[in-house]
Structure formats: structure tokens, C-alpha cells
Structure 1
Amino acid sequence: MKHTVQRDWRVTRPSRKSRFNFDQTTALGGLTVALFTYIIYHFIYPLISKGLLW
């Protein structure tokens, strides 16, 4: 018997239709935006406001 890869990648169980699907990509994107916001407001903005960056 020859082993083959399943070509159908759809989920076998029907999923509920929702307007917003929270998956791993959405979670990582949200964490990335939160991290950049934290870095900007806690490290870069105080340097600009004190005149040390430019």
C-alpha cells in the first residue's frame, strides 16, 4: 500500500461562521503590536520628550 499525503486541508467538522476568527496569527500579531507600543512609549518617547534623541 502506497502512503500518500492527504490533499484536503479543510477542517472535517463544520465551524461556526463568525465575523472574527481568533487564531494563532491574530494572537501573535496582537502581541507584536503591544510589544512595539510598549517599547515606543516607555523607551523612545521619553528620549524624544527630553530632547536626547534629536
Structure 2
Amino acid sequence: MKPTAQRDWRVSRPSRRARVAFDQTTVLGGLTVALFAYIVYHFIYPLISKGLLW
């Protein structure tokens, strides 16, 4: 018999406490947006406010 991957990717016992499930894509997207906002606020915005970029 050939070894095959399990095709059922559902969680066997879902947690009842968590109303909103954060998967890996949501976490990585949130971190990306947070990093972008940090870069804009700390590096790009001061340059714009001093008139160095425009």
C-alpha cells in the first residue's frame, strides 16, 4: 500500500473559546502592514515633513 498524505485538513476538535480564528496568512498580513506603517511613520514621514522628498 502506498503512503499517502491525509486529505482531511479540518481540526478534529475546534476550540470553542476562540470566536475569531487567526490563521498564518492573517498573522503574516498583519505583521506586514504593521512593519510598513512603522517604516512610513519613522522614516518616510519625517523626510516629507522636512521637505527632503518633495
Name the TM-score, length of structure 2 as normaliser: 0.72
Identity, % of aligned positions: 81
The equivalent of 1:42 in structure 2 is: 42
For these two proteins, the number of residue pairs brought into alignment is 53
Task: Give the root-mean-square deviation of aligned CA atoms.
Answer: 1.8
Structure 2, gaps ≥5 residues long: none
AA matched with 2:50: K
Tell me: CA distance 1:48–1:14, structure 2 relative to 1, closer, same or farther (3 Å): closer
Moved over 3 A (4+): 14-17
SS state of the match for residue 38, structure 1?
helix
Separation in 2 of the partners of 1:12 and 1:49?
A: 53
